[in-house]
Amino acid sequence: MTIAELQAQLDEIHTESQGILAAADADKRDALLADEQERLDALLAEFEAKSQDLARMQAVQENAALLNGSTGRRTTPEVPRAEADDADDADDVPAARPMAPQMAGNRQPQQRREPRINVHQDRSRWGWRAFGEFAQAVKMASISGGHVDGRLAAQMAPTSYGSEGTGADGGFAVPPDFRAEIISKVMAEDQLISRTDQSVSTGNSITLPIDTTSPWQTTGGIQAYWDGEAQQINQSKPALEQVQVKLNKLTALVPVSDELLEDVPALDSYLRRKAPEKMNYKINAGIVKGTGVGQPLGIMNSPSLVTVADANGKSIQPVDIFKMWSRMYGPLRSSAVWLINQDVEPELFNMHIKVSNAAENDYVGGVPVYMPAGGLSASPYGTLMGRPVVPTEACNSLNTPGDILLVNLGQYMTVTKGGGIRTDTSVHLFFDYAVTAFRFIFRVAGRPMWDAAITPGSGSGNSLSWAVALDTRT
């Protein structure tokens, strides 16, 4: 094996090591995963072993040059050779350095130094050792009459059209290796599925028994009776409905060119994070407003949804919140959440309970409903009626049913395929285009446990539910 071959192997090992760290950085993880740690330790050990082999080969070469007295000591250069026409060939050519002067006419061995190992990162950094060095060169090149570093000039487009690589056309392009991670414009939303009643299936469908009877229902299902002493106990039997839920397939297919994969080491990790984020939004939207055809049956299309009429036909008023709260089945309130479109928030902040004078003919003040006692200078509560308020893009537009919902998602069941999101990578699908395909498949089903709202055992007779929406407003 030659020195050039060893250097190429070191280059590959180092590139893979950087990719592991870049993946963790792209996922914003403070620590590596177990398999990543194991792989990185193996790469570091392999790098150390090959570095020692390279050092020995370089030492032998230097000794040969010293004994021959003609070539001089050979070593890798201290300054990157960015102006070479062929970077790969330039990496493989060792540079010569003059021999040290001889003492008293006798040829004495030069003092031995630890040879410098160069892993050749110039391909991705264009010859720059650090971003600060690159920035300083750009600054000097920007000054009138300033010096243009050869490494900058090497990236300028020689053609007549404008490009980011030409300084006069819009600045010097930043070397790719100084920013490996990919920046996401929008972060993932809160996962509504984690708040639901979750089940896992090994198949593509599941049958669930559901009891739809209410505790005060006097017919059907399990009943309780007051029986006298020594009397025969009355009998009853469960009333269970068998509900079959078929898992729907949610997919994402992302073809990526091999060139892009090489240029952006973190792209693989980015795709494995971004695709599930996109799927998460689709699942949220399915839980809120899914049609039930090829996707989950959402809250807004559930036959058990209760819709409350708006008080004034305009903005949300405190009485609207109180009416929605009163239609939520009491035992479910303690774990209910508010789902809102973010456009609803200004109306929530503006809500207050009016306080009148003693004669009740004039308003003298008000008490904020969605604001802490400290006013706007303090952090607003993230709760309404003591329950969390969760903004989500899955909710409908302002002033339409579904822009604000009060729901207990524990009454919404979701079923997922065991193993979670299946991720596959193939180079064969678009092999003739030099494109790698990333495929993501997630099987999930969802539907409310309630087939209808319930009628209370006493009171006004207004139906109660696990999901309450506010009606259309103008």
- pLDDT of 247 strictly over 80: yes
- Determine what percent of the chain is predicted with pLDDT higher than 90: 21
- pLDDT of 80 strictly over 80: no
SS3 at position 168: helix
353 vs 26, higher pLDDT: 353
Determine the Cα–Cα distance for residues 462 and 325; give it in Å rounded to an integer: 12
State mean pLDDT over 382-393: 88
- pLDDT of 334 strictly over 80: yes
The residue among 471, 456, 433 whose CA lies nearest residue 328 is 456
144 vs 263, higher pLDDT: 263
Give pLDDT tens digits for 431-462. Answer: 777 888 888 889 999 999 898 898 887 777 78
185 vs 34, higher pLDDT: 34
State mean pLDDT over 211-224: 76
State mean pLDDT over 418-441: 80
229-to-222, 226, 232 alpha-carbon distances in Å: 21, 10, 9
Give pLDDT tens digits for 121-142. Answer: 455 566 666 555 655 565 566 5
- pLDDT of 474 strictly over 80: no
What is the distance in angstroms between the CA of the first residue and the CA of the last residue of the chain? 79
- pLDDT of 274 strictly over 80: yes
How high is the pLDDT of residue 155? 57
User: Each residue of 400-437: b (16+ CB within 10 Å) or e?
Assistant: ebbbbbbbbbbbbbbbbbeeebeeeeeeeeeeeeebbb
Of the pLDDT bands very low, low, confident and very high (cuts 50, 70, 90), residue 430 is confident
The count of other CB atoms within 10 Å of the CB of residue 296 is 31
Q: Which amino acid is at 95?
A: A
Q: Are 370 and 388 spatial neighbours (Cβ–Cβ below 8 Å)?
A: no
How high is the pLDDT of residue 333? 94
112 vs 360, higher pLDDT: 360
How high is the pLDDT of residue 342? 92
What tokens does 321 get?
């919140």
**Domain extent listing, the chain:** 1-99+111-120, 132-180, 182-218+231-474
State mean pLDDT over 288-310: 94
State mean pLDDT over 290-296: 93
On average, the pLDDT of the chain sits at 75
Q: Are 283 and 192 spatial neighbours (Cβ–Cβ below 8 Å)?
A: yes
Of the pLDDT bands very low, low, confident and very high (cuts 50, 70, 90), residue 1 is confident
State mean pLDDT over 389-415: 93
Top-confidence range, 53-67, 204-218, 282-296: 282-296
Give pLDDT tens digits for 16-64. Answer: 787 788 777 766 777 888 888 888 888 898 888 888 888 888 888 888 7
Long-range contacts of residues 87-90, Cβ cutoff 8 Å, at least 24 apart: 87/122, 87/123, 88/123
